């Protein structure tokens, strides 16, 4: 939590928005309390996403291109983006007809819940880091945080990416629609940025994510609910889970952001391409091991069958 405080201080939010240090501490403590002890979508994930957002703000020099209030929206959205995550995704919520799915009419149940929990925390004066702002500023921040957190629903991925691609040739930082889309893309990139980190950091996070996926698919099988193939422990391997995700989700998104900010190529695209190569080689090794095992088992069965042949049918030896 101390490092999150440092990020708010380093980006000049404390002075600019008159945020009292003790209120920021209480806000971050309440955020910490409202993340659950689950394998992946926990407070450590919140920190990683926020740290990536903080890094992207500095790497792209957004302080000279956007207003401080927009940067405050993005950093706070990252802090709050998975509050009270249950460990079961939206498809599960909808198929299982959970309270969240019923409350939000099957529309981004988790993301709507994350937003609601964030603003419940901010409703308490002791933890309201925006309490010294004007009503207009608060309204703008609330609207921005809701837009950013709702953008993390992966069912909206193609919609947001395609809109962003369409505006890139004439991107204008003074255009609100352009800026809003950039903010949504930045939180999406931050949210799924694990593979941009060193492999010794990224791979354990993948293990945590797969554990959460497998926990969900196990419950879905027990309840007779539809099971997502990418979550089924009987069908998914570590490399198979990543290769398609990197090729068809991560790289297309990261490449478009780097088209706007070429400086990001070395920071987020090069590491992701290395990760793709790593998992491609891992998949080849697993396939080879599977083939070798299959050949060994086939040879053992043939030998066993030969040993069981009647003596009369065995060829005579000289």
Could you list the active site residues? 41
Q: What is d(CA 120, CA 244) in angstroms, rounded to the nearest whole number? A: 37
| Rounded to 5°, angle at Cα 53 from 52 and 56 | 85
Distance CA 160, CA 50 (A): 20
Query: Could you give the angle at the alpha carbon of 75 between the alpha carbons of 77 and 72, nearest 5°?
Result: 100
Contacting residues for 43 by C-beta, under 8 A, at least 6 apart:
31, 32, 35
Going by C-alpha positions, the residue among 170, 182, 188 that lies closest to residue 249 is 188
Give the Cα separation of 119 and 146 in Å (integer).
10
- Whole-angstrom CA distances from 162 to 82, 165, 265 are 24, 5, 20
Q: Tokens standing for 109?
A: 């149940």
């Amino acid at each position: 939590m101390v490092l999150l405080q440092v990020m708010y201080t380093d980006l000049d939010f404390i002075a600019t928005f008159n945020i009292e240090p003790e209120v920021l501490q209480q806000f971050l403590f309440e955020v910490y309390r409202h993340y659950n002890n689950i394998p992946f979508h926990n407070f450590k994930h919140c920190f990683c996403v926020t740290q990536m957002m903080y890094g992207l703000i500095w790497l792209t020099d957004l302080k000279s291109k956007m207003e401080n209030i927009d940067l405050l929206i993005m950093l706070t959205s990252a802090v709050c983006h998975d509050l009270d995550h249950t460990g079961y995704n939206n498809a599960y919520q909808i198929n299982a007809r959970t309270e969240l799915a019923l409350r939000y009419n099957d529309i981004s149940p988790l993301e709507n819940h994350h937003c609601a929990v964030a603003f419940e925390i901010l409703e308490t004066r002791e933890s309201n880091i925006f309490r010294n702002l004007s009503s207009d500023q608060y309204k703008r921040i609330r609207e921005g945080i809701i837009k950013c957190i709702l953008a993390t629903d992966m069912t909206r991925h193609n919609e947001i990416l395609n809109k962003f691609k369409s505006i890139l040739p004439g991107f204008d930082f003074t255009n609100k629609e352009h800026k809003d889309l950039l903010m949504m893309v930045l939180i999406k990139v931050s949210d799924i940025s694990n593979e941009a980190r060193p492999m010794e950091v990224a791979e354990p996070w993948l293990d945590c994510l797969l554990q959460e996926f497998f926990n969900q698919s196990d419950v879905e099988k027990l309840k007779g609910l539809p099971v997502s193939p990418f979550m089924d422990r009987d069908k998914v391997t570590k490399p198979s889970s990543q290769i398609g995700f990197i090729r068809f989700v991560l790289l297309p998104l990261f490449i478009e952001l780097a088209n706007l900010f070429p400086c990001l190529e070395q920071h987020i695209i090069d590491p992701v391409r290395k990760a793709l190569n790593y998992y491609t080689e891992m998949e080849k090794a697993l396939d080879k091991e599977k083939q070798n095992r299959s050949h060994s088992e086939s040879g053992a069965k043939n030998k066993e069958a030969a040993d069981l042949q009647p003596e009369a049918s065995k060829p005579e030896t000289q």
